[in-house]
Amino acid sequence: MSSPHISCTKSTLLAGIAATLLSFVKANDNYKAVATSPAKRNAVVGFCYAALLLNIYASMMAYAIVEKTSNGKKPSHKLKFGCKYG
């Protein structure tokens, strides 16, 4: 794969991970064992929101760059799975 396609995939994957982390951090059940101040918890939630939004923005920009540079052409490469041992 070319580099822009890889960056699309990576930023989309990271956005999914950030969404999962956000749902974990916002759950009240995860804070029963350790006393956590609300200010620290709100800061972590804020950072998770920022990570999610920035990764979504990075995904959109990567896809836009791929569309702009491909000029409507399909990629000419074919993915090959498996190994050849010589």
Mean pLDDT by 10 residues, the chain (86 residues): 70 90 85 79 92 91 81 58 52
Dihedral of CA atoms 25, 29, 32, 34 in degrees, nearest 10, equals -20
CA distance linking residue 52 with residue 62, whole number of Å: 15
pLDDT at 10: 85
Side-chain half-sphere of 63: how many Cα atoms within 13 Å? 9
On whether the pTM is more than 0.75, the answer is no
pLDDT at 51: 93
> What's the pLDDT tens digit per position in 48-59?
999 999 999 988
pLDDT at 66: 80
pLDDT at 80: 52
Q: What is the domain partition of the chain in residue ranges? A: 3-70
